[in-house]
């Protein structure tokens, strides 16, 4: 299936079209230090007889662990199979003609939401330009979605800025995909879950920070009880699997590991940014995440050049809906950094 796709159509981390050669995969925004080693121990301790029954207690296990990690109660949370599931369910819940996504954005957001509120052009995006478009979109639509920190650009609009926009537009709902909020300074304390606003929906997942994207776990937060009930009504039975819950719950207990690996990744991302700026004229800087975006019209050519040197990055075409042309590159581990450095310096 992937062999028929161009590089700009690959999902991040899907290397099946590249054959058997080993690559350093910096095309998906996971924590490459993860998962914590205790996750392996938790899986080895699973009694296989527990797999006979349906996972009745998986949701409770996961929600309890995530609520403890976030420092909130479970009452405003709905468990699901990653942020992607909630994007699909919410896009089906709100009227399609009255729903928009502020682009560029995550693949499934631009796939499932037809109305795109994109940049007008004329240079790289800024925090201010994205905030202005959120405000414009909330004046024109009933429901607006954005990723924050943004995927793929990494820009973060402060929660207090978004909260002010929501208060100015009480009849519109803002959905915030916070898949990367854990990488920002202050982590979950920077989340919109602390806004307390009834017209805010927040999507969260431990998959990126803890390096467990192979599991499908996430939550939707909102104080809107009717919306929580409506989304639960659209879900299938057993919102997550027992094994996914075990992995996520164990990972979420490892807050010390998370803080240490996050610090190492962000330090490497700063070093990577310096290399990128030496090679490319326009690089997104001042972002609170472990990846960087390179603005270039030669994105596919640069992607192929890095492939020749054994490094995979995420490539975007500005000709595709909801995209800007460029490369998104995730920080490697300290041990992997020389491979990326050599590839960036090579002709």
For the stretch 300-330, pLDDT in tens is: 999 999 999 999 999 999 999 999 999 999 9
Instruction: Give the list of residues 6+ apart from residue 224 with CB closer than 8 angstroms, or none.
Output: 198, 199, 201
- Distance separating alpha carbons of residues 195 and 221, to the nearest angstrom: 11
DSSP states along 30-53: S-TT-S-HHHHHHHHT--GGGGSS
Q: What is the number of residues in the chain?
A: 347
Q: Taking all residues of the chain, what is their mean pLDDT, rounded to a whole number?
A: 94
Main-chain dihedrals φ then ψ at residue 247, nearest 5 degrees: -65, -50
pLDDT in tens, 167-224: 999 999 999 999 999 999 999 999 999 999 999 999 999 999 999 999 999 999 999 9
Residue 18: CB atoms within 10 Å: 15
pLDDT in tens, 238-271: 999 999 999 999 999 999 999 999 999 999 999 9
pLDDT in the model for residue 11: 63
- Residue 229: strand, helix, or coil: helix
Instruction: Look at the block and give the residue holding tokens 């537009």.
Output: 169
Task: Say yes or no to pLDDT of 17 above 90.
Answer: no
pTM: 0.94
Instruction: Look at the block and give the residue holding tokens 């000709």.
Output: 319
Distances (CA, A) of 207 to 81, 245, 266: 11, 12, 17
Task: Say yes or no to pLDDT of 276 above 70.
Answer: yes
- The one-character DSSP state at 11 is P
pLDDT in the model for residue 45: 97
pLDDT in tens, 51-81: 999 999 999 999 999 999 999 999 999 999 9
- Distance separating alpha carbons of residues 68 and 21, to the nearest angstrom: 42
pLDDT in the model for residue 2: 42
Task: Say yes or no to pLDDT of 296 above 60.
Answer: yes
Would you call 332 exposed, middle or buried from its count of C-beta atoms within 10 A (0-12, 13-18, 19+)?
buried
């Amino acid at each position: 299936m992937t062999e028929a796709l161009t590089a700009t159509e690959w999902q991040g981390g899907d290397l099946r079209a590249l054959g058997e050669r080993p690559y350093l995969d910096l095309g998906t925004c996971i924590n490459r230090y993860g998962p914590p080693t205790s996750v392996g121990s938790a899986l080895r301790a699973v009694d296989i007889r527990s797999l006979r029954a349906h996972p009745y207690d998986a949701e409770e296990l996961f929600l309890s662990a995530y609520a403890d990690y976030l420092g909130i109660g479970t009452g405003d949370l709905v468990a699901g199979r990653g942020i992607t599931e909630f994007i699909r369910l919410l896009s089906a819940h709100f009227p399609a003609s009255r729903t928009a996504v502020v682009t560029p954005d995550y693949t499934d957001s631009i796939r499932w939401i037809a109305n795109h509120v994109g940049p007008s052009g004329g240079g790289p995006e800024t925090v201010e330009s994205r905030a202005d478009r959120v405000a414009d979109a909330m004046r024109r639509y009933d429901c607006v979605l954005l990723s924050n920190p943004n995927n793929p650009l990494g820009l973060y609009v402060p929660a207090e800025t978004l909260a002010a926009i929501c208060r100015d537009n009480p009849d519109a709902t803002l959905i915030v995909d916070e898949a990367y909020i854990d990488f920002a300074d202050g982590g979950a304390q920077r989340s919109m879950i602390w806004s307390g606003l009834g017209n805010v929906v927040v999507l969260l997942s431990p998959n990126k920070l803890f390096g467990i994207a192979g599991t499908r776990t996430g939550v939707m937060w909102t104080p809107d009880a009717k919306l929580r009930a409506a989304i639960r009504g659209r879900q299938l039975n057993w919102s997550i699997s027992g094994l996914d819950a075990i992995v996520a719950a164990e990972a979420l207990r490892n807050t010390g590991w998370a803080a240490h690996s996050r610090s190492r990744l962000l330090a490497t991302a700063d070093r990577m940014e310096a290399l990128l700026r030496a090679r490319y004229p326009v690089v997104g800087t001042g972002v609170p995440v472990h990846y960087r975006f390179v603005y270039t019209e030669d994105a596919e050519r640069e992607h192929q050049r890095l492939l020749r040197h054994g490094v995979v990055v995420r490539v975007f075409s500005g000709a595709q809906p909801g995209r800007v042309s460029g490369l998104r590159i995730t920080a490697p581990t300290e041990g992997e950094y020389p491979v990326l450095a050599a590839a960036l310096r090579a002709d």
